[in-house]
Structure 1
Amino acid sequence: MSTLEEHVDVGVPVDKAWESLHRVENYPRFVEGVRAARTEAGGRAHLDVEAGGRAREFDAEVSDHGDERVMEWHTSGAPELAGSFSLQPIDRNHTRVQARLEYDPGTIRETFGGPKGFAQANAIERLVRSDLEHFKEYVEQER
């Protein structure tokens, strides 16, 4: 398994960032490749994704640690992916959003295609960093 961690600082209070992160239906606005997303019963989310020219549907189980401002998730089928978002207040009006993604590079390549090895790791890193920047734009516009 490979692990990727990235973060972005956003210009909103931690409560606002936490609330925005939980609006799964808005993920297509800031997560590359997500065409549609919805919350389902029992702490689950359903996402329609297009990546590498391939359309896929994913179900994920989501758990919150609200007091700690940590949201963990993992897919409930193939491909096996897991991750978390943790939010830390910087001050009253700024929050650090930390994203962590755990994945098997071979599984990602089989599922979505793309390069091997280091090139693939760089591509995933760029994608996560871009999604965090898009989240920053999204949440700061929603003020």
Structure 2
Amino acid sequence: MTTIQESIDVRVPVSTAYNQWTQFESFPYFMDGVERVVQVTDTMTHWETNIGGVRREFDAQITEQHPEERVAWRAVDGQKQGGVVTFHRIDAENTRVNVQMDYDPDTFTEKVGAGLGVIDRKVKGDLARFKEFIEKRGEETGAWRGDVDRSPQRGE
């Protein structure tokens, strides 16, 4: 399993950053390689990606979500991956967004890419594009303020 940790400071209030992050269908606007995300239910999303010429479709479940604090997920099929995004108020107008993602590269190319830090740089780039997206807009495109209590991982 490979772990990636990245963070970025954005010039918007914590509520704005959090609210935008709950709008999963907007991810293709700032996440490289994400072609489409469909919000199936409050806690289930369907993803279509094309990263490095590798096309994938998978479902991801929101395993924990608390307004203005965190959104955690795990893939329920396909590549083993999961993670958490946390939101930290710096002051009234600035927020630190932290991403921690665990994934298991399953092809030779993915393993080499992971070893070379390709995915780390991709996540860092996605966060930079999120910063540009939300700061340019100045407001979120929507919000989902529901709470999802932690659900057990497989095998717990």
- CA distance in structure 1 between the partners assigned to 2:20 and 2:104 by the alignment: 28
Q: Does 1:101 align with 2:101?
A: yes
| TM-score where L is the length of structure 2 | 0.82
Alignment of 1:25-104 (within 5 A): 25-66=25-66, 69-104=69-104
For 1:10-56, what per-residue CA distance to the aligned partner results, in whole angstroms no more than 9, with x for missing partners? 00000000010011110000111011111111500111100121221
Partner of 2:115: 118
Number of aligned pairs? 137
Q: Does 1:142 align with 2:128?
A: no
- CA distance in structure 2 between the partners assigned to 1:89 and 1:65 by the alignment: 17
Partner of 1:132: 127
Greater than 2 Å deviation, 4+ residue runs = none
- CA distance in structure 1 between the partners assigned to 2:124 and 2:17 by the alignment: 17
Q: Secondary structure at the match of 1:32?
A: coil
- CA distance in structure 2 between the partners assigned to 1:115 and 1:67 by the alignment: 35
The Cα of 1:67 is off from its aligned counterpart by: 5.1
Kept in 2, the 8 Å contact 1:85–1:98? The answer is yes
The Cα of 1:114 is off from its aligned counterpart by: 4.4
| TM-score where L is the length of structure 1 | 0.89
For structure 1, the 5+ residue unaligned runs are none
- CA distance in structure 2 between the partners assigned to 1:46 and 1:81 by the alignment: 14
Q: Secondary structure at the match of 1:9?
A: strand
Distance 1:118 1:55, change over 3 A: closer
For 1:95-134, what per-residue CA distance to the aligned partner results, in whole angstroms no more than 9, with x for missing partners? 00000010123x2x35xx3462621xx1011001000000
Distance 1:10 1:76, change over 3 A: same
Larger fraction in helix: 1
- CA distance in structure 1 between the partners assigned to 2:135 and 2:67 by the alignment: 23
Q: Secondary structure at the match of 2:32?
A: coil
Kept in 1, the 8 Å contact 2:48–2:55? The answer is yes
Q: Considering only aligned residues, what root-mean-square deviation do their CA atoms show, in Å? A: 1.6
Kept in 2, the 8 Å contact 1:38–1:47? The answer is yes
